[in-house]
Amino acid sequence: MSIGQGDLNVSPLQLAVAYSAIANGGTVYQPQLVEQVIDDHGHVIKQMGPVIKSRVVDSSFDFSEIMNSLSYVAEPGGTAYGLRYDPRFSDIAAWLKENQFRVVGKTGTAQVVKLSKSVEHYMDVTKVPYEQRDHSWFVSFFPQDNPHIVVVVMTEHGGFGGSISGPVAVRISKKWHEQNNTVMMSQSGDQP
């Protein structure tokens, strides 16, 4: 159970809620799909504010330490090391290095079936029949200093979290950053 195997079942939304609580210091929010309701003239009829479901009040949780630990996932020795150093992900690596961003997250490889030790699936996932391949997970939040977005990517039968779902999550964060930087610059009068 401690490594996510066996009877543990978690949806991507549940994982997003949990990681948002880590990122914000322990407040668990109710997931919402609607921010506001507007009429056909563009006037706000109803504003949906955040709904707090609970707070993590256990003093043994050091959220800053957890966040710092999660920031090593793409560093040497981390399970998503390739995001910063693998030539296949040079676009991500360049963006991270140029902006001095760190990937803050966790990889996951959820076993679908127990494979024989004779199957070298760790070297080449294509040696395993599709329906027996592990599910690939990656959960992250961005940016590390002031998280605004949580991204969960789960790729069914995708293989390893760091090399399959990780690049998707980082590219989503990159796109979010590009769009929000443009909006913030245009609001301040600066040119992008």
- pTM here is 0.83
Confidence of residue 15 (pLDDT cuts 50, 70, 90): very high
Q: What is the mean pLDDT of residues 57-86?
A: 90
Does residue 143 or residue 116 have the better pLDDT?
A: 143
Tokens of residue 74, six digits: 């793409």
- Alpha-carbon span 125 to 136, nearest angstrom: 11
Confidence of residue 118 (pLDDT cuts 50, 70, 90): low
Phi-psi category of residue 100: left, alpha or beta, with phi > 0 → left and psi -120 to 50 → alpha: left
Q: How many angstroms separate the Cα of 167 from the Cα of each of 88, 129, 161, 171, 172?
A: 10, 23, 9, 6, 9
% of residues, the chain, pLDDT over 70? 85
Interval 146-160: pLDDT, tens: 999 999 999 999 888
How would you class 169 by CB atoms within 10 Å of its CB: exposed for 0-12, middle for 13-18, buried for 19 or more?
A: buried
Domain spans in the chain, listed from the N-terminal domain onward = 61-188
- Alpha-carbon span 150 to 104, nearest angstrom: 10
Confidence of residue 185 (pLDDT cuts 50, 70, 90): very low
Pick from 153, 38, 160: nearest CA to 111: 160
Q: How many angstroms separate the Cα of 20 from the Cα of each of 30, 46, 68, 88, 137?
A: 11, 25, 15, 29, 16
Interval 33-45: pLDDT, tens: 999 999 999 999 9
Write the CB contacts of 111 (distance below 8 Å, at least 6 apart in sequence): 5, 134
Residue 123, pLDDT > 80, answer no
Interval 74-112: pLDDT, tens: 999 999 999 988 899 999 999 999 999 999 999 998 888
